[in-house]
């Protein structure tokens, strides 16, 4: 067994590997860029080596620097995590040639299966069912359109070295095929240093189900059940679960055996995943093989009771797998939500900056501890006060729950999301809550087109269902009454000027367009010692009990006898006197004031925001990589204006109306902030 390993990665996966290594008594070495000098993985590791500036192509993608760091620190082995160099066969080979053990598959297996074009050819030769398409690299956008026409739309345009949704587009017509080819090549070149692109038929209404494999150096390969990864947005997984609510035991066995046969054909060892697209008749087709650990590996760990990182390390050290296929368990139901730094109410645009508050829900399951299951686990690479840089992907954390069945897992996840506090950057938690509450998701009736079908026009606050929206109003009044009671108890108040807590309030739900909602609320039977009160909102009565303190962002308690977790934040960006209340994904900004103050507030004029329709604004922080227009140029609606790069994704900005460019206000290469003007139309 190794004494010291280096993790050639960052963020939550680096922290995840460190967790298992520590339990195994193995020393760890972290590598970091300038942007990550204070990152959590650097603090957790026993040693850390600086490898370059923030852009990944100048740091985490520099194999020579990472190998030098191994030699400098005496690390005997290297774990690549996922992303970056994890599926780079040339890097894996060079690591081995330098006498360092690569904790992953051998380079020849990686070369055979990690390349999407070559792996499809191999799979076809092995008798595995494959999707129709052209499995050779395409040189021009015009050729991509020709091939797409021959296959028939829709088609999937895919970078050979792609992954994580990068370098992938679905095209439904010639224009989308042409533009998608160009974007795929650019993203693939920037993210993976390999711009080869191919085209295949896009199977409509498909399920994305993958088989987890583990193989050793002694010819043993096992499949560790499946993961359901069909809930995707822009081809990036949002919620994963294990097992799948869709496939039968017979299909599971057939997929598993086919995946094992494919892995054995290339002498595969270490952890890997074979991805399949599955039709509604449970017919399945080989999609690709990921020759690395997957982001969603924790759900497999939950239902099998196995530590996949530990298995990878033991296999790399030459140990034989101690379990057989018959030993692989499928116990309970696990789910994972990817918590990303993106604003779901602004078309999921990246959100970067400082984490003013980061308080995940209490963990009852831990990484690398196979004795504690059926609870909540958080895998993260950030901490309170940390930074979400614009140079890397948008993931803040992974929230994992394990229940006895699927409905229990959904209930646990919803409650855990309620208590996940993130301030300073936007997150996709409201969207996750909406998905978990959707009747079709709860029933297991969904496919990869689910999000596009139900949220194709974007995601708005009203898309978040809530069993009882008046509860948020009642909770705001409860918190305000608690605050007033404390103010009334302060000693030394002047006679006639003492604070009267009162019982009657008006909760003003603030609307962006000024159409506020005024609701009278009555709070009585308040008992400060037990933290309880009766709150009346219209015809609804709420017996609320909570001993959470006034400065707690996450509030725990019970309402009418049922336990709840919610968040109440004092002050909003637009109103420091308001309360922001969040529960089950629904968020409201309210003022809790006296009836007389409410009368006066209703008379206040509404200040409309300035008209910015003449400007093209940066919708997020990022790097302006291209300005496609010039002063005086006539632009039509839908025409490309600028391209912004953030979190390894290209975002193209289009004109929303016809016009003439009056001014170009930002230059190529400039770092932009949210809502910064780029172009002004005359």
Sign of CA pseudo-dihedral 444, 448, 453, 457: positive
Taking the CB of residue 52, how many other CB atoms lie within 10 A of it?
Answer: 17
**3-class secondary-structure state, position 543:** strand
Tokens read off for 454? 């139900």
- Between CA 88 and CA 435 the distance in angstroms is 35
| Known active-site residue 240 | no
Residue (of 248, 246, 230) closest to 238 by Cα position: 230
Q: Which of 584, 583, 573 is nearest to 476 (CA)?
A: 583
Burial of residue 616, with CB atoms counted within 10 A of its CB: 0-12 exposed, 13-18 middle, 19 or more buried:
buried
Q: For residue 630, with 0-12 CB atoms within 10 Å meaning exposed, 13-18 middle and 19 or more buried, which class applies?
A: exposed
- Whether 291 and 109 have beta carbons less than 8 Å apart is answered as yes
Long-range own/partner contacts, residues 407-416 (CB < 8 A, 24 or more apart):
407/442, 408/333, 409/241, 409/332, 409/333, 409/334, 409/335, 410/335, 410/436, 410/442, 412/375, 412/376, 413/335, 413/337, 414/584, 415/361, 415/565, 416/361, 416/376
**Catalytic residue (choose from 87, 176, 288, 336):** 288
SS3 label, residue 71 = helix
Cβ neighbours for 64, distance < 8 A, ≥ 6 positions apart? none
- Give the span between the Cα atoms of 61 and 495, in whole angstroms: 70
Known catalytic residues are: 288
């Amino acid at each position: 067994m190794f004494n010291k390993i280096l993790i050639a990665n960052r963020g939550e996966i680096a922290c995840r590997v460190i967790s298992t290594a520590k339990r195994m008594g193995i020393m760890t070495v972290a590598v970091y860029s300038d942007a990550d000098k204070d990152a959590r993985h650097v603090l957790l590791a026993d040693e850390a080596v600086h490898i370059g500036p923030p852009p990944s192509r100048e740091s985490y993608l520099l194999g020579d620097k990472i190998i030098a760091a191994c030699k400098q620190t005496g690390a005997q082995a290297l774990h690549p995590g996922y992303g970056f160099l994890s599926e780079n066969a040339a890097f894996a080979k060079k690591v081995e040639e330098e006498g360092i053990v690569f904790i992953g598959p051998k380079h020849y297996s990686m070369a055979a299966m990690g390349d999407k074009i070559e792996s499809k050819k191999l799979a076809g030769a092995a008798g595995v069912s494959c999707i129709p398409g052209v499995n050779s690299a395409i040189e021009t956008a015009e050729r991509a359109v020709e091939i797409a026409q021959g296959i028939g739309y829709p088609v999937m345009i895919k970078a050979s070295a792609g992954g994580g949704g990068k370098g992938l587009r679905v095209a439904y017509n010639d224009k989308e095929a042409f533009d998608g080819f160009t974007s795929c090549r650019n993203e693939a070149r920037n993210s993976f240093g390999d711009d080869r692109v191919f085209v295949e038929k896009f199977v409509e209404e498909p399920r994305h189900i993958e088989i987890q494999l583990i193989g050793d150096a002694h010819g043993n390969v096992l499949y560790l059940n499946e993961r359901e990864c069909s809930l995707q947005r822009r081809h990036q997984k949002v919620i994963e679960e294990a097992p799948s609510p869709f496939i039968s035991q017979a299909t599971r066995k057939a997929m598993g055996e086919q995946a094992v046969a494919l892995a054995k054909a290339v002498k595969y060892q270490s952890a890997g995943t074979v991805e399949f697209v599955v039709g509604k008749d449970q017919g399945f087709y080989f999609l690709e093989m990921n020759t690395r650990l997957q982001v969603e590996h924790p759900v497999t760990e939950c239902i099998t009771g196995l530590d996949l990182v530990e298995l990878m390390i033991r296999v790399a050290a030459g140990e034989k797998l101690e379990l057989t296929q018959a030993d692989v368990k499928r116990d309970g139901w696990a789910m994972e939500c990817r918590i990303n730094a993106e604003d779901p109410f602004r078309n999921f645009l990246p959100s970067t900056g400082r984490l003013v508050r980061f308080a995940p829900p209490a963990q009852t399951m831990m990484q690398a501890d196979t004795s504690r299951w059926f609870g909540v686990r958080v895998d993260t690479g950030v901490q309170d006060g940390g930074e979400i840089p614009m140079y890397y992907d948008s993931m803040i954390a992974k929230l994992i729950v394990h229940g006895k069945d699927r409905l229990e897992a959904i209930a646990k996840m919803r409650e855990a999301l309620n208590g996940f506090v993130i301030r300073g950057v936007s997150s996709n938690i409201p969207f996750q809550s909406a998905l978990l509450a959707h009747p079709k998701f709860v029933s297991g009736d969904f496919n990869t087109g689910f999000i596009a079908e139900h949220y194709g026009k974007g995601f708005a606050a009203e898309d978040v269902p809530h069993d009882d929206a008046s509860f948020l109003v009642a909770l705001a009044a409860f918190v305000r009454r608690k605050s007033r009671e404390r103010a009334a108890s302060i000693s030394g108040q002047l006679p006639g000027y003492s604070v009267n807590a009162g019982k009657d309030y008006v909760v003003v739900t603030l609307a962006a367009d000024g159409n506020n909602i005024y609701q009278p609320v009555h709070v009585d039977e308040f008992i400060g010692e037990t933290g309880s009160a009766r709150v009346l909102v219209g015809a609804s009565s709420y017996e609320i009990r909570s001993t959470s303190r006034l400065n707690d962002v996450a509030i725990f308690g019970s309402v009418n006898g049922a336990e709840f977790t919610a968040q109440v934040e004092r002050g909003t960006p637009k109103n420091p006197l308001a309360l922001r209340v969040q529960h089950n994904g629904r968020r409201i900004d309210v003022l809790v004031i006296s009836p007389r103050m409410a009368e006066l507030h209703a008379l206040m004029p509404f200040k409309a925001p300035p008209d910015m329709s003449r400007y093209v604004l940066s919708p997020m922080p990022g790097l302006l990589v291209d300005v496609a227009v010039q002063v005086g140029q006539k632009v039509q609606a839908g025409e490309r204006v600028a391209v912004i790069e953030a979190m390894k994704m290209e975002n193209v900005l289009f004109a929303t109306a016809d016009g003439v460019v009056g001014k170009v206000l930002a230059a190529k290469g400039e770092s932009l902030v949210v809502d910064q003007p780029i172009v002004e139309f005359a």
